[in-house]
Amino acid sequence: MNPASSCYYISPFAKQSKEIVWANRRLQNFGPRTYVKSINNSELRINFKNGSFIKCDGSDNFEAYRGITPHFVLYDEFKDFRPEFHVAMSPNLAVNNAPLVIIGTPPDRECQYVQMAKEYQENDDCTYFQFSSYMNPHLDKDWLNNERGLLERRGEFDVWQREYMAKFVPGGVNAIFPMLSRDIVMNHKLLLNEIRNDRKKLQYYCVADPGTTTCFAVLFGAINPYNKRIYLLDEIYETDQKKTSVNQIGRKILDKRHGIWPRPDDWVFVADEAAAWFMNEMADRFDIGFMPTKKSLNKKDVGLSLIKDTILQQKLVISSNCKKMYWEMENYIRDKNNNIPKMDDHLIDSLRYLLDIAGYSLNDEKEPDDIEWSNRETKRFYTPEEDWKAENIDPWRDDDISDY
């Protein structure tokens, strides 16, 4: 019905496409053979007599698909795609206004699949479908019920929800922070208001994980040494390499630090020990001295275990400003070999460095009932009013705070 149509079936890998639709001859045997002109097994291509063709390939071959002019494209098992493939293919769709169909099981972590699913649900020019396995008339419903019971008994209900109910459930049994919940996230203004009376007791930290190729992350946090509460107050998460110069990041650090607590001497600045260049430039340009981490001396799983304990004991509070911090923790899962991932963990690493440099432990420490100041030098001023008057600033003033 559509002569000279270029149609593409793409799965994550060319070998996978071959196994799904080619080796079993599902594609070659679909439709009347009288329409077929030739079949090329090496190229996984079927040519039709009307000048149309169907070509199968994998997303790993993304460089080969820049500049083609398709009439129809189908992505299968999309959660495992190379992100570069859609970047290369997307402009090609405009030439013939080609439809794009995306099929796949939801992943166990946020990725390109989740982002595009959200976009398609919100875009009136797109359509989004979610079908459970029970809607497939060819599947045995008793088998599905038995499989559900088996997975529930194994404690793998998240697998059931993803694989059979088509629901996006991050983490599951492979989650490194399975105890994580939105309950630890607090509106930023409310959080600042909560710690208002304890602002002088807190120890403030700015931890940088300077990435040169992927992400430049900075975490701003505070610890109450008496009740052991950890407050993650803000973040910088820059993936655009044009915006990761020391001048740009340095100015952002100064702005966010001032918005949280304006007294520079009360802050401890820490940076990845491998980023000596960053520490040197921050000292030269902004007069900020960063201490190096000791990550080479500390095991990662020990630091992650401590973070888990802070969540379980309700010591960790995350500001609503720290969206990428929560995103990293929610999507931090072990791989198929049960290894800790080495990606999307920039702010998680920063939190580990913060707890390490602070010498943080969960041993109980009672807040002293009374503090006797031996002389004026051991405290800045005598009353909160004098503090604000002397500094001539009020970082806690917020015209909208009454709304909360």
Rounded CA-CA distance 321/383 in Å is 30
> Is residue 234 domain-shared with residue 341, that is, in the same domain?
yes
Chain segment 63-76, per-residue pLDDT in tens: 999 999 999 999 99
Chain segment 28-54, per-residue pLDDT in tens: 888 788 899 999 999 999 999 999 999
- Indicate whether 347 belongs to any domain: yes
- Indicate whether 384 belongs to any domain: no
- Indicate whether 93 belongs to any domain: yes
Question: What helix, strand, coil percent values describe the chain, rounded to 5?
Answer: 40, 15, 40
Residue 352's nearest CA partner among 394, 302, 314 is 302
Q: Which of 115, 148, 171 is the last residue of a domain?
A: 171
> Is residue 245 domain-shared with residue 313, that is, in the same domain?
yes
Chain segment 90-109, per-residue pLDDT in tens: 999 999 999 999 999 998 87
Residue 204's nearest CA partner among 233, 184, 246 is 233
Which structural domain, as residue segments, surrounds residue 57? 6-104
261 backbone dihedrals φ, ψ, rounded to 5° = -160, 115
Place of tokens 């929610």: 330
Mean pLDDT for the stretch of residues 281-305? 87
Question: Is the confidence at residue 89, as pLDDT, over 60?
Answer: yes
- Indicate whether 212 belongs to any domain: yes
pLDDT higher at 174 or 77: 77
Q: Which CATH number goes with the domain that contains 35? A: 3.40.50.300
> Is residue 158 domain-shared with residue 192, that is, in the same domain?
no
Rounded CA-CA distance 199/260 in Å is 10
Identify whether the C-beta of residue 265 lies closer than 8 Å to the C-beta of residue 206. no
Question: Is the confidence at residue 302, as pLDDT, over 80?
Answer: yes
Q: Any idea which of 122-131, 334-343, 385-394 has the lowest mean pLDDT?
A: 385-394
Question: Is the confidence at residue 125, as pLDDT, over 50?
Answer: yes
Chain segment 165-194, per-residue pLDDT in tens: 998 877 666 788 888 888 999 999 999 998
Which H or E run includes 217?
Answer: strand 216-223
Q: Which of 82, 104, 126 is the last residue of a domain?
A: 104
- Indicate whether 376 belongs to any domain: no
* Percent of the chain topping pLDDT 70: 88
Chain segment 52-61, per-residue pLDDT in tens: 999 999 999 9
Binning pLDDT at 50, 70 and 90, where does residue 375 land?
very low
The count of domains in the chain is 3
> Is residue 247 domain-shared with residue 144, that is, in the same domain?
no
pLDDT higher at 384 or 19: 19
| Beta-carbon count within 10 A of 311 CB | 19
* Percent of the chain topping pLDDT 90: 60
Chain segment 190-217, per-residue pLDDT in tens: 999 989 889 889 999 999 999 766 789 9
Structure tokens at 290: 């960063």
> Is residue 192 domain-shared with residue 82, that is, in the same domain?
no
* SS3 of residue 293 by DSSP: coil
> Is residue 78 domain-shared with residue 159, that is, in the same domain?
no
Cα angle for residues 57, 99, 49 (degrees, 5° grid)? 65
> Is residue 292 domain-shared with residue 348, that is, in the same domain?
yes
Alpha helix segments (H runs only) across 132-291: 141-153, 157-163, 188-194, 246-260, 276-286
> Is residue 314 domain-shared with residue 340, that is, in the same domain?
yes
Binning pLDDT at 50, 70 and 90, where does residue 309 land?
very high
- Report the first-to-last Cα separation within the chain, whole angstroms: 62
- Indicate whether 1 belongs to any domain: no
> Is residue 199 domain-shared with residue 322, that is, in the same domain?
yes
> Is residue 197 domain-shared with residue 285, that is, in the same domain?
yes
> Is residue 202 domain-shared with residue 294, that is, in the same domain?
yes
Q: Which CATH number goes with the domain that contains 257? A: 3.30.420.280
Question: Is the confidence at residue 378, as pLDDT, over 80?
Answer: no
Identify whether the C-beta of residue 346 lies closer than 8 Å to the C-beta of residue 215. yes
Chain segment 260-281, per-residue pLDDT in tens: 998 989 999 999 888 999 999 9
Structure tokens at 31: 């439709």
> Is residue 201 domain-shared with residue 346, that is, in the same domain?
yes
- Indicate whether 209 belongs to any domain: yes
Say how many residues make up the chain.
Answer: 404
Q: What is the CA radius of gyration of the chain?
A: 28
The reported pLDDT for the residue numbered 404 is 38
- Indicate whether 127 belongs to any domain: no
Q: Which of 171, 193, 215 is the last residue of a domain?
A: 171
Binning pLDDT at 50, 70 and 90, where does residue 401 land?
very low
